[in-house]
Structure 1
Amino acid sequence: MEVKKINFLQSYSSILLLLGGIIAGSILGLVFGEKVEVIKPLGDIFLNLLFTAIIPLIFFTIGSSIANLEQSEKLGKLFVIMILVFLSTLIISAIIMIFAVYLFPIHQDIAITKVPFENIQSGSVGDQIAKLVTVNDFSELLSRKSMLALIIFSFLIGFATLQSGEKGNAFKSFLDSGNEVMKQLLNSIMKFAPIGLGAYFAYQVGIFGPQLFGVYAKPMAVYYAACVFYFFTFFSLYAIIAGGKRAFKVFWSNNITPSLTAIGTCSSIATIPANLDAAQKMGIPTHVRNLVIPLGAPLHKDGSSMSSILKITFLFAMFGKDFTEPSTILLALGITIIVSIVEGGIPNGGYIGEVLAITVYGFPMEQALPVAMILGTLVDPIATLLNANGDVISSMLVSRFSEKTKF
């Protein structure tokens, strides 16, 4: 009996420490309120270390994964299945949120709060797409704000290495070695997670806690309830589809650390290392997890899909417009798919999605954008949970459909 206790503590020590740090930080935030801002630098240092390591990790993980594929046909099949899985879960999550706002409609006076927001660059649709998928200088690839461009570049590097055959073996070894080194670096950084995430939680609770009980309380309650329902019900369903009862147990026994990391960092990008580690423990093939999870971070966001629907219905209520028209709902579904793709994977990063929705529906930007930003900030933790954890469950589905993996 004593041996089992020791093994349990050894296996779950990192999770227990992480939980302890988060709980301690939350208590500090509740007790001291805005005074906890003094420890925010501890959280910033941890996140900064994490983000600086993420960029090379993405490059080496994707490049190495593509370079080690045996057949280009296999790559094409993997991509088609991955895109179908991503789109399917995005649409399902959006529909769940639409049902939620119908069952619990948002009808209330909303105090429009003026807050500072980012300057959004204007331009044609073509220009915006070009800036989203490419950069005009190599150095700009090293910014997490250019994550999609970096992923595309990493994919092209991996594919070029694959096409180079034996002449590219030395570069392939470099990619493999770099991938291993960056994983070890991330493991070292994550040892500071209990302190870093604890400080970040303290700040979030201390600063934003009072707003939870204001005019945003009802839409937040609807959103959090819908997300919790989707998380436990549909993620369980996805796991069963991926491999029955065994896959169900495998998923829920390995997603604790990714879930806590997602909630604590509010970043899909920062959760990539934890997701990759969990996917490895689940038995997902290397080439699948190293492709689906890094690509899913910026492209696949069930939580953002649901928050997009919430923001649209919230703005409709604020400006007294009807959200029940079928054409309005279909347009909202289209917008939420685009928003889920173009929104960045960094904490509170980029408001292109909000701007798109506001522009399409014709809401006044100076009134609608600050409201959407505040709501987005308040729902960010659980939205990131669905975004990041959704990549793990998607990798299970992709692995099942493309590799016939048995969990």
Structure 2
Amino acid sequence: MTDSKTGLLKNYGFPVILLISIAVGSTIGALMGKEALVFKPLGDVFINLMFMIVVPLVFCTITNAVAGMSSLKRLGKVLGTTISIFLITGVIAAVLMLAAVVFFPPAQGIVIEGVAPQDFEPLNTAEQIVKAFTVEDFADLFSRRHILPLIIFSILLGVSLNALGEKARPVVNIVSILSDAMLQLVKIVMYYAPIGLGAYFATLVGDFGPQLLGSYARAMIVYHTVTFAYFFIAFSVYAYISTDGEGIARFWKNMITPAITALATGSSNATLPVNLEAARNIGVPEDIRNMVLPLGATIHMEGSCLSGILKISFLFGFYGLSFSGVNTFATAIAIAALSGVVLSGIPGGGLVGEMLIVSLYGFPPEAFPIIATIGFLVDPAATMVNATGDTASSMLVARFLEGKNWFRKAQG
């Protein structure tokens, strides 16, 4: 019992501290009203520190991750099938959350006058799409306003370094050290987060009113309702497709322990050992489970796809924008899938995904802590979905590569 309590404290101690600081700050803001704006500089310091870090963090971590993927050439057909399934399931999750937030807007009821994004333009022309993905000058890459072009550049540079092999090893080593240094810097800055977020929410609630907190509660209800529905329904469907309906019971029998482990630890990597054991008991072939599950723990986050849509729609409602239209929906799904299937494989990927949302849509810097808070609140349930989705995906990979009778053969 003591070890269990120690583990929970270790994994969720800091998020609990952040939530307490947000609650304290919100209470102060509700009591002080406009006078709480005196705390604004303390909140602005935190926001500025995070934006100061994001550009070198994105460049170093993504370049390092891609440059180090020397095994991609050997993965072949299994990797292609796995990535395709990861993307498809991620998009499915995003579309389901999209339907939910259209009917139940998470920020409904917030009325904020005179606050709007600075240059908001939906991606509805070819020129806007080009500007969203590229820049015309190298120097423009190193700006938080151009996160997506920076991500693309970092991926291409990583691929180039990878192709050079040993010749590029000194550069890769330097980038790796810088990547570790940036992650350490994030940890250092996060020591200030309780003060920064507390001050920020004191200012936010004092300026805009306590109704904001009610919208957070509404957003959490929407997220957890959709997430748990996805957890039970979608994974049952995937298990049915994988085994021609024969393996649903066996899937759930073996997934209880990994799901609870993920919920308690908040880590897909910490859940990986029990997930591998569950996949073995289900009958997923060894080479497939040993490839799909570690890869999934790194770059497959359906829970993050669900939360990505929630964050985008929340900001649209917060700033009084209409979250509607095919272009808006398509962009939101693409960003959610990118955050949940690609950026999740990068250390600090959640942070990068939130920065991407803020920069791509033209939201002001103050929007970042608003959706970062949502990230803290949804993390346990999101991790549960992420880890369970990895095993379900390994079953789908087995179905497509080993044929429809793979499950029957594994049992007999």
TM more than 0.5 = yes
Who is 1:234 aligned against? 234
Note the 1:53-202 alignment, pairs <5 A: 75-106=75-106, 107-109=108-110, 124-125=149-150, 126-129=152-155, 136-138=171-173
Deviation at 1:77, TM superposition (A): 2.3
Distance 1:22 1:285, change over 3 A: farther
Secondary structure at 1:271 match in 2:
helix
Who is 1:378 aligned against? 377
Distance 1:279 1:226, change over 3 A: same
Who is 1:406 aligned against? 407
State the superposition RMSD in angstroms: 4.0
Secondary structure at 2:88 match in 1:
helix
Distance 1:83 1:345, change over 3 A: closer
Rounded to whole Å, the distance in 1 between the matches of 2:306 and 2:254 is 24
Contact 1:267/1:346 (CA < 8 Å) preserved in 2?
Answer: no
Deviation at 1:306, TM superposition (A): 0.7
Distance 1:354 1:244, change over 3 A: same
| TM-score normalised per structure 2 | 0.60
Rounded to whole Å, the distance in 2 between the matches of 1:24 and 1:293 is 23
Would you say 1:387 and 2:386 are equivalent positions?
yes
Contact 2:145/2:359 (CA < 8 Å) preserved in 1?
Answer: no
Secondary structure at 1:254 match in 2:
helix
Note the alpha carbon deviations across 1:222-275, whole angstroms, 9 max, x for none: 000000111100100000001134310111001122111211222222222221
Deviation at 1:296, TM superposition (A): 1.2
Letter in 2 for 1:306: L
Contact 2:254/2:282 (CA < 8 Å) preserved in 1?
Answer: yes
Secondary structure at 1:305 match in 2:
helix
Contact 2:145/2:360 (CA < 8 Å) preserved in 1?
Answer: no
Distance 1:120 1:324, change over 3 A: closer
Secondary structure at 2:320 match in 1:
coil
Contact 1:239/1:251 (CA < 8 Å) preserved in 2?
Answer: yes
Distance 1:346 1:127, change over 3 A: closer
Contact 2:7/2:265 (CA < 8 Å) preserved in 1?
Answer: no
Rounded to whole Å, the distance in 1 between the matches of 2:178 and 2:265 is 18
Deviation at 1:25, TM superposition (A): 6.2
Who is 2:133 aligned against? none
Q: Which runs of 5+ in 1 are unaligned?
A: 1-16, 38-61, 113-118, 147-206
Contact 1:342/1:353 (CA < 8 Å) preserved in 2?
Answer: no
Deviation at 1:24, TM superposition (A): 11
Who is 1:304 aligned against? 304
Who is 1:47 aligned against? none
Note the alpha carbon deviations across 1:315-349, whole angstroms, 9 max, x for none: 00000001111110011111112111343469976
Rounded to whole Å, the distance in 2 between the matches of 1:291 and 1:397 is 13
Deviation at 1:354, TM superposition (A): 0.9
Secondary structure at 2:268 match in 1:
coil
Rounded to whole Å, the distance in 1 between the matches of 2:179 and 2:400 is 31
Note the alpha carbon deviations across 1:2-50, whole angstroms, 9 max, x for none: xxxxxxxxxxxxxxx79x9479969xx9xxx97xx9xxxxxxxxxxxxx
Q: Which runs of 5+ in 2 are unaligned?
A: 21-68, 116-142, 163-168, 182-197, 199-209
Contact 1:343/1:351 (CA < 8 Å) preserved in 2?
Answer: no
Distance 1:337 1:24, change over 3 A: closer
Aligned residues: 286
Rounded to whole Å, the distance in 1 between the matches of 2:243 and 2:342 is 31
Deviation at 1:100, TM superposition (A): 0.8
Percent identity reads: 39
| TM-score normalised per structure 1 | 0.60
